[in-house]
Amino acid sequence: MKEIIKLENIRRNFVVGDEVVHALRGLSFTIKEGEFVTIMGSSGSGKSTLLNILGCLDTPTSGEYYLDGVSVRTMGKNARATLRNRKIGFVFQNYNLLPKTTAIENVELPLMYNPAYNTVQRRKKSIDALIAVGLGERLNHKSNQMSGGQMQRVAIARALVNDPAVILADEATGNLDTRTSFEILVLFQKLHDEGRTIIFVTHNPEIAQYSSRNITLRDGHITSDIENEKILDAAETLAKLPVNDDY
Partner 1 sequence: MNIANLFKIAVRALTNNKLRCFLTMLGIIIGVASVITMLAIGQGSKKSIQAEISEMGSNMIMIHPGGDMRGGVRQSADDMETLKLKDYESIINETRYVAAVSASVNSSGQVIYGSNNAPTTVYGISPDYMEIRRYKVQDGEMFTEQDVTTAAKVCVIGKTIVDNLFTNGENPVGKIIRFQKLPFKVIGVLESKGYNSMGMDQDDLILAPYTTVQKRVLAITHLQEIICSAIKEEYTEQAMDEITEILRRNHKLKADEEDDFTVRSQQELSNMLTNTTDMLTVLLAAVAGISLLVGGIGIMNIMYVSVTERTREIGLRMSIGAKGIDILAQFLIESILISVTGGLIGVLFGVGASLLVNYVAHFPIYIQPWSVILSFAVCTMTGVFFGWYPAKKAADLDPIEAIRYE
Ligand X SMILES: Nc1ncnc2c1ncn2[C@@H]1O[C@H](COP(=O)(O)OP(=O)(O)OP(=O)(O)O)[C@@H](O)[C@H]1O
Site string for Mg ion, 3-42 (x = CB under 5 A): ----------------------------------------
Q: What's the DSSP call for residue 102?
A: B
* Cα–Cα distance list, 55 to 47, 72, 139, 205, 235 (Å): 12, 10, 27, 23, 28
Site string for ligand X, 20-39 (x = CB under 6 A): -x-x----------------
Among 6, 11, 22, 48, binds Mg ion (CB under 5 A): 48
Cα dihedral 216→222→228→232 (10° resolution): 10
Q: Which stretch binds Mg ion (CB under 5 A): 32-40, 47-55, 101-109, 203-211?
A: 47-55
CB of 242 to partner 1, least distance (A): 34
Closest among 67, 63, 105 to 85, alpha carbons compared: 67
Binding of ligand X by 46 (CB under 6 A) = yes
- Closer residue to ligand X (CB): 111 or 201: 201
**DSSP readout, 130-156?**
HHHTT-TT-TT-BGGGS-HHHHHHHHH
Closest among 220, 225, 222, 223 to 24, alpha carbons compared: 220
| Plot region of 91 (φ>0 → left; ψ -120 to 50 → alpha; else → beta) | beta
- Which of the listed partners (Mg ion, partner 1, ligand X, none) does 14 bind, with a CB threshold of 5 to 8 Å by partner kind? ligand X
| Plot region of 23 (φ>0 → left; ψ -120 to 50 → alpha; else → beta) | alpha
Binding of partner 1 by 115 (CB under 8 A) = yes
Binding of partner 1 by 116 (CB under 8 A) = no
How many CA atoms are closer than 13 Å to the CA of 174, on its beta-carbon side?
A: 14
- Which of the listed partners (partner 1, ligand X, Mg ion, none) does 214 bind, with a CB threshold of 5 to 8 Å by partner kind? none
- Closer residue to partner 1 (CB): 108 or 183: 108
Binding of partner 1 by 85 (CB under 8 A) = yes
Residues that bind ligand X (CB under 6 A): 14, 16, 21, 23, 41, 43-49
